[in-house]
Amino acid sequence: MSDNPRMDVPDSAADEQAGLREGAIAVQLSEQLARLRDHLVEAFPSLEVLGFRGELTLIAPAHQAPDVLAFCRDDPAVRCEILADLSCVHWLGGQQQVHAQETTGWPTYTEDAGPGRIEIDYILYSVTHNHRFRVRAYVSDDGGRIGTATGVYASANVMEREAYDFFGVVFEGHPNLRRMHMPDDWEGHPQRKDYPLGGVEVQYKGATVPPPDERKY
């Protein structure tokens, strides 16, 4: 469309986007991670594998996640001593708008995103082998429960409390599952997508500025 080649999106982004389909394995994994992937899939055949930008992601069923974590800690070839991160992403269910560029002029159309779910990601890191990968599990966003990882990694204690506080995911077997950041009597789980940002309108010299989530830009 433009005669200016600098305006084009780099090609590699388009290729990788094509490669990111559920269950597809993109080809950017390093050899070390590829061997690791094979080893883990051998031990847990129900794992799905994803690769994106050189990162390995293994999707485990929710009831198996603590076992996978324990295997990753104990198996000598994997030996992930550190649980680097435990974080959640909330994918809303029902009819969702498909986000294209908002100013194209095409009508926004919606598609059914299925039931809402919360994705729980465990980032595992090995000091001895120097590899890092992600184990992912999905739970339902309406009363989702998953086994705790505190028996495997003690650092999961605070991280799971934070995940419970912000997303409402219940970690069964956690010794002390209560709110961490929000006040104890807070209602709602703030970082869910159906929880509003809670900003106020700002008034200044007769003009008003809407809160950040309602502004156009």
One-letter amino acid at 205 equals K
DSSP three-state, residue 53? coil
According to the binding rule CB under 8 A, does residue 111 interact with other proteins? no
Minimum separation from the CB atom of position 45 to other proteins (A) = 20
> Which x/- pattern over 115-154 shows residues binding other proteins (rule: CB under 8 A)?
------x-x---xx-x-x-x----------x-xx-xxxxx
Minimum separation from the CB atom of position 42 to other proteins (A) = 18
According to the binding rule CB under 8 A, does residue 207 interact with other proteins? no
Minimum separation from the CB atom of position 74 to other proteins (A) = 5
In the chain, which residue ranges form alpha helices assigned H by DSSP?
Answer: 11-19, 31-43, 65-74, 156-167
Dist CA 131 CA 126 (whole Å): 5
According to the binding rule CB under 8 A, does residue 83 interact with other proteins? yes
Binding residue for other proteins (CB under 8 A) from 74, 108, 114, 142?
Answer: 74
Judged by CB under 8 A, the number of residues near other proteins is: 88
Contacting other proteins within 22-51 (CB under 8 A): none
Minimum separation from the CB atom of position 139 to other proteins (A) = 11
Contact 58, 68 (CB under 8 A): yes
In the bound state with other proteins, the residue whose beta carbon lies nearer, of 41 and 89, is: 89
> Which x/- pattern over 53-72 shows residues binding other proteins (rule: CB under 8 A)?
x-x-x-----x--x---x--
According to the binding rule CB under 8 A, does residue 190 interact with other proteins? yes
Dist CA 27 CA 32 (whole Å): 13
Dist CA 50 CA 20 (whole Å): 8
Name the region of 85 (left: φ>0; alpha: ψ -120 to 50; beta: rest). beta
Dist CA 214 CA 201 (whole Å): 10
Positive/negative CA dihedral, 8, 13, 14, 15: positive
Task: Give the tokens for residue 181.
Answer: 């950041």
Minimum separation from the CB atom of position 205 to other proteins (A) = 10
DSSP three-state, residue 8? coil
Dist CA 22 CA 214 (whole Å): 32
Contacting other proteins within 151-180 (CB under 8 A): 151-155, 157-159, 162, 164, 170, 172-180
Binding residue for other proteins (CB under 8 A) from 90, 116, 138, 141?
Answer: 90
Minimum separation from the CB atom of position 12 to other proteins (A) = 5
